[in-house]
Structure 1
Amino acid sequence: MVNIAIFASGNGSNFENLINAINDKQIDNAQCKVLIVDKENAYACKRAERLHIPFVYVNPKEYANKAEYESEILRILKGYGVELIVLAGYMRFIGEVLLTNYPNRIINLHPAYLPNFPGAHSILDAYEAHAEFTGVTVHYVDEGVDTGEIIHQEKIVIDPSWSLEVLEEHVHALEYRMFPKVVKIVCDRIEEEATK
């Protein structure tokens, strides 16, 4: 069983989706030990309360720099025995402290078909570019912006008649379907490594 921490900044719908997938054994080899949020009023915290998942708000403004901020997060993660960090709508770049302590153990859900449309506004960017397709990518996190090794990605062909809202609905639906499967695959890999 792999101990995971989920990081979120806002609504937390992907966080809740993952917890539901763990609870109904779609992901049968992971347990979420803690939710980490960087915004005090993140709705994800309300979801965590309802789902009985511990959550911790770590305020970036209370620390002199990213290294100190991440060192506090690291202390929390170690306390929970976390082996894998899952970014589910976490809007902050991961720095050296977490990358060094969790090499190839941080994964991110990105709402685009990378390398197209990296960054924070990828659904809007794809829409405004009148792209023929977009998608969803899950990748390992490295020092770059959405540049880490791709674990799995799927395409969505964009109907030109879609509004931005309709495109967002299609992207989120694919996220909810795809992300639990990929988290399970990554946990399988971690368990395999542990037996070698």
Structure 2
Amino acid sequence: MSPRVSLPVSTHQNSAPLKLGIMASGSGSNFECIAQAIASGELNAQIQVMVYNRPEAKAADRADRLGISRVLLNHRDYPSREALDGAIVSVMQEHQVDWIIMAGWMRVVTQVLIQAFPRRMLNIHPSLLPSFPGVRAVEQALAAGVKVAGCTVHYVELEVDSGPIIIQAAVPVLPDDTAETLHARIQVQEHLIYPRGIALAAGG
């Protein structure tokens, strides 16, 4: 039950590339899949900077390997979520970012960031929203006994995982699935649909 999207990833190859700012907290696998889609010509964009909030995040290693600028904004160094988001806005504006792409960003964002990039912030979540928002979505799905799980690219709004949906992909839940095995299959679909979701959002 993988996505079957007949449109090309980008229908605006003759227009100026989208200027993306990536936000990551963990391994950065979605970050790298977006970079690969750009390198292959599937997505007409360029990554201006990758912001990460955990010094140990593997996403930083990926940025170095890919030759992409990275900036550490450790959330522990800021007195509030708003202060952190203000710093993120400054970095993104300094790098002339048009769209913010949250790729495994594990912090709740505030209006400080959302208002600076209205309808230009995207997130990917490992469930078929509106089901199972928030943390541990895969575990929530297994606990509920659903037969189908998946992932969703959506706009970011103040309420967590509540923004309008752009694209989704479904995967079956197998009888012997664990959180790890199900998440691995969901992640395969995340890597397929995130570049498509970015192109769809930018194309209106």
Query: TM-score, length-normalised on structure 1?
Result: 0.92
Match for residue 8 of structure 1 among 13, 19, 24: 24
Q: Indicate if the aligned counterparts of 1:2 and 1:30 stay in contact, CA closer than 8 A.
A: yes
Instruction: Quote the sequence identity (%).
Output: 34
Deviations 1:144-190 (A, max 9, x none): 0111111111222212233332211210111111111111222333x
Q: Indicate if the aligned counterparts of 1:8 and 1:89 stay in contact, CA closer than 8 A.
A: yes
Equivalent in the alignment of 2:8: none
CA distance 1:5–1:160, shift in 2 (3 Å): same
The answer as to 2:190 corresponding to 1:163 is: no
Equivalent in the alignment of 1:192: none
Equivalent in the alignment of 1:184: 199
**3-state secondary structure, aligned to 1:123:** helix
Q: How far apart are the structure 2 equivalents of 1:118 and 1:31? A: 29
**3-state secondary structure, aligned to 1:171:** helix
Equivalent in the alignment of 2:72: 57
**Which amino acid is 2:53 matched to?**
D
Q: Indicate if the aligned counterparts of 2:126 and 2:183 stay in contact, CA closer than 8 A.
A: no
Match for residue 35 of structure 2 among 4, 9, 19: 19
The answer as to 2:148 corresponding to 1:130 is: no
Q: How far apart are the structure 1 equivalents of 2:77 and 2:179? A: 36
Q: Indicate if the aligned counterparts of 2:20 and 2:100 stay in contact, CA closer than 8 A.
A: yes
Deviation at 1:113, TM superposition (A): 0.2
Q: How far apart are the structure 2 equivalents of 1:156 and 1:46? A: 30
Aligned length: 188
Q: How far apart are the structure 1 equivalents of 2:184 and 2:88? A: 32
Equivalent in the alignment of 1:92: 107
Equivalent in the alignment of 2:6: none
Deviations 1:87-112 (A, max 9, x none): 11000111011111111010000000
**Which ranges of structure 1 fall in alignment gaps of 5 or more residues?**
190-196
Q: Which has the higher helix share?
A: 1
Equivalent in the alignment of 1:42: 57
Match for residue 163 of structure 2 among 148, 156, 172: 148
**Which ranges of structure 2 fall in alignment gaps of 5 or more residues?**
1-16
Deviating runs (4+, > 3 A) in structure 1?
A: none
CA-atom RMSD in angstroms: 1.1
